[in-house]
Homo-oligomer: A and B are copies of this chain.
Amino acid sequence: MNDGHVTRDLPIVVVVGGGFGGLAAAKALKRAPARVVVIDRTNHHVFQPLLYQVATSILTPGQIGSPIRGILRNQPNTSVLMGEVIAVDLAERCVVVDCLDRDRVRVHYDYLILATGASHNYFGHKEFEKYAPGLKNLADAVAVRNKVLRAFEQAEGEEDPARHRELLTFILVGAGPTGVEMAGAIASLCRITLRSEFRRIDPASARIVLIDVGSRILGSFSEDLSAAAHKQLEELGVEVLLGQGVEHVDEEGVIVAGKRIKSKTVIWTAGVTPSPAGTWLNAETDRSGRVRIAKDLTVPGHAEIFVVGDTATLDHDGKPLPGVAQVAIQQGRYAGRLIRRRLEGKAMLKPFRYFDKGNMAVVGRGYAILQTRVFRTSGFLAWLAWAGVHLQFLAQSSLRVSVFVQWVWTYLTGQRGSVLIVNHLSGSHTEAKTEPVPLQSSEPVQSSV
């Protein structure tokens, strides 16, 4: 329809993944003499660094998700396909896509950019996932939000104080940025937002436990910032257990260093595993499965295939680049530019160099830590910097305003934007149940609601 003006024999660049890396690549190809196809499993880009705010009811899913089509609307050489890539046919230069409710299709590429990211890593204990969901996409965040809010609802309906304790214990496994940010946000939820909404339980009495096998939280930050964040968490009433691995997770809670902590709400924030891009390409990977790429971000032996972001590994000044949004964005942009220059027959780019803009994490309301190559700081000013940088990056301008309004509102009043349990399982009682339910007076009678 709208691509009538695109010449049919233009080379095709396929970008797999609509995260930070894939979008940056697609945007860098805006004026390239090529047809660009962006493939993603969902119809939206997610601003992953703020997922924890959806999981803790501060923001709505719509505030951090933007439809990929909308972002690329004004890029006529680019089309978007919703489907899941499950393989790459190197010989025929095709990606194999599982489409929505349809048969597989094969999409031909002349250039391929794999920006397929990472998902949760349960370190061989996939059975933990059922009890300890992770936080990688909007569906995860809504599921965690439901789980956290339901725990309070269940506790309020429960007469046994011992059960209150279990229901109001929240465990975060892994003290990286997501674990720390979740812990801080759950603490504010309990102590401020929900303070006066219950009659039988006191949400402020909730126990929040952050567990990590390492010797300090936020290991990617300097020791002083890590210590400052630790102190701040403890002021918010978060228990931090360090040097202790979680040995087991089940519906009763976790076992840490041989001791059980009972909890109905365990959240897994302990690590990531790359997408199977290495398997698709039959390429050399590091131990965790990330594809080893060359300094121009291509896969050795395949000048037409690029891998960027969390699913790739590249040594930089002697150590592997971290799995953060900035790396994905800069790599995606580099890959897009390099392909454009090749297609235009221009001189090649210098090898990829990562420019480290710094690193931040939020610890509760109005407190953050900030580390750049030249300075470090913590506290309210760091939080303002954090808020500014994140608003800056939110992909769509109308979202930016609404997130800003919501943050100011939440900061001033403690009220959150989306304290909803939206659960497809609860179902509606379609058509009247005409069978009367047998009454058993053995059921407990609530005496003190």
Q: Are B107 and A449 in contact (CB under 8 A)?
A: yes
Per a CB cutoff under 8 Å, which of B107, B140, B402 touches A446?
B107
Knowing A70-B197, A443-B104 touch, does A42 contact B426 (C-beta < 8 A)? yes
Closest to A88 in B: B439
Contacts A157-B105, A409-B398, A433-B276 hold; do A3 and B199 have CB atoms under 8 A apart?
Answer: yes
19 A–B pairs (Cβ distance < 8 Å), ordered by A: A1-B198, A1-B200, A43-B420, A60-B61, A65-B422, A67-B420, A80-B156, A82-B154, A86-B437, A87-B437, A89-B439, A99-B154, A102-B157, A105-B443, A106-B443, A108-B446, A119-B430, A138-B420, A401-B405
How many copies make up the complex?
Answer: 2
Complex partner residue of A105 from B3, B433, B446, CB under 8 angstroms: B446
**Which one of A23-31, A120-128, A318-326 is at the B interface?**
A120-128
* A365 contacts the other chain (CB 8 A): no
Q: Which of A162-212 contact B (CB under 8 A)?
A: 194, 196-202
Is B157's CB under 8 angstroms from A119's CB?
Answer: no
Shortest distance in angstroms between A51's beta carbon and chain B's nearest beta carbon?
12
Distance to closest chain B CB from A13 (angstroms): 11
The proximity string for A residues 405-427 relative to B, scoring 1 for CB distances below 8 Å and 0 otherwise, is: 10001000001011111111011
Is A62 interfacial (CB 8 A cutoff)? yes
Q: Is A235 an interface residue (CB 8 A)?
A: no
Question: If the complex has contacts A1-B201, A67-B420, A104-B443, are A289 and B80 also in contact, measured as CB distance less than 8 A?
Answer: no
Residues on A facing B (Cβ under 8 Å): 1-3, 8, 12, 35, 37, 41-44, 60-63, 65, 67, 69-70, 73-74, 78-84, 86-87, 89, 92, 94, 96-97, 99-108, 119-122, 126, 129, 134, 136-140, 142-143, 149-150, 153-154, 156-158, 194, 196-202, 273-276, 278-280, 282, 289, 398, 401-402, 405, 409, 415, 417-424, 426-437, 439-441, 443-449
